[in-house]
Amino acid sequence: MQKPILVFQTDFTYKEGAVCAMYGVVKSVDRELEIMDGTHEIPQYDVWSASYRLYQSMRFWPKGTIFVSVVDPGVGTARRACVALTADGYTVVTPDNGSLTHLKQWVGIRAVREIDERVNRLVGKGTERTSVFHGRDLFGYCAARLASGMIDFEGVGAAYPVEEIVCLPIMEPQMEQGKVRGIFEINDPNFGNLWSNIPLELFTQAGFNYGDRLLLTIRHAGEVVFAERVLFQQSFGFVARGEPIIYNNELMRIGLAVNQGSFCQQYGIGFGADWQVQFEK
């Protein structure tokens, strides 16, 4: 049988040797293991973004892939280190600090176990007395043992109820009287697009169609910061360069962009629960 691929995402960047050290641990366990990068550019300490990025990319990998997600502002504290099995056949090795929020809500978690540090922590490398690099000493090492077949899921550690998984609040979009409301859940940091929590199907239910110019209203902490009519279309090139557009992204959620520009920068818009967006004809 083929060994599972390991996919890593962190907030470590490549500015120093953290990622290199994690991969070295994996290869020391089993040189045959294949390691791929998800991203190492998650904003510092941003557990919400870690959770979203797992959901964003996971389904496009072969079943059985093991994801190692390390955004861990509570490293070394009492927060659980865990391995979770998703309902659709993937494994996630991560601190249980909210990083499983979107998978639990939108995919499902069928089982979770706490990593037993007595057997699944790196030893013999002079790392026994440090508590600040669990990405290397715990998550990467345990994931490598799983992928290599040295341990199975039961060998991770004790099971605990899925209901105890730490989850961040997820806000649901709303539709009433021809208006669709939501929040900006996350952005596309490279291109400056904003992704809302509104599914395309809610636009369809509201009677919005490609080619409509919708009144787009954005509020920050209740204050209107943007109110214009903007074209709703399938992709960016339906408007002139520098113009805003409403589109549905690759996750079939409503997004905002500027053609060959940055919506975030051009209009000073961010994401999070205090950034509300509303669409109407």
User: pLDDT means per 10 residues in the chain (281 residues)?
Assistant: 95 97 98 98 97 97 98 96 98 98 97 97 90 96 98 98 97 95 96 98 97 98 97 98 98 97 98 96 95
Read off the DSSP letter of residue 99.
T
Q: For 6-164, CATH number? A: 3.40.50.10790
The residue behind tokens 């520098």 is 242
pLDDT of residue 129: 87
Query: Cα separation of 187 and 176, whole Å?
Result: 26
pTM for the model: 0.94
Q: How much is the pLDDT for 47?
A: 97
The token pair that represents 210 in the structure block: 């490609």
Q: Please tell me the distance from the alpha carbon of residue 96 to that of residue 166, in angstroms, as a whole number.
A: 6
d(CA 43, CA 63): 28
What confidence score (pLDDT) does residue 180 get? 98
Spans of all domains in the chain: 6-164, 174-280
pLDDT of res. 126: 87
Predicted pLDDT of residue 72 = 97
Q: Domain 174-280: state its class.
A: mainly beta
CA-wise closest residue to 81 among 94, 91, 71: 94
Q: What is the pLDDT of residue 207?
A: 96
Chain mean position to CA 57: 8
Position 128 scores a pLDDT of 87
Whole-angstrom Cα distance, residue 19 to residue 145?
18
In this structure, the dihedral spanned by the alpha carbons of residues 247, 250, 252 and 257, taken in order and rounded to 10 degrees, is -20
Residue of 47, 52, 22 whose CA lies nearest to 35: 22
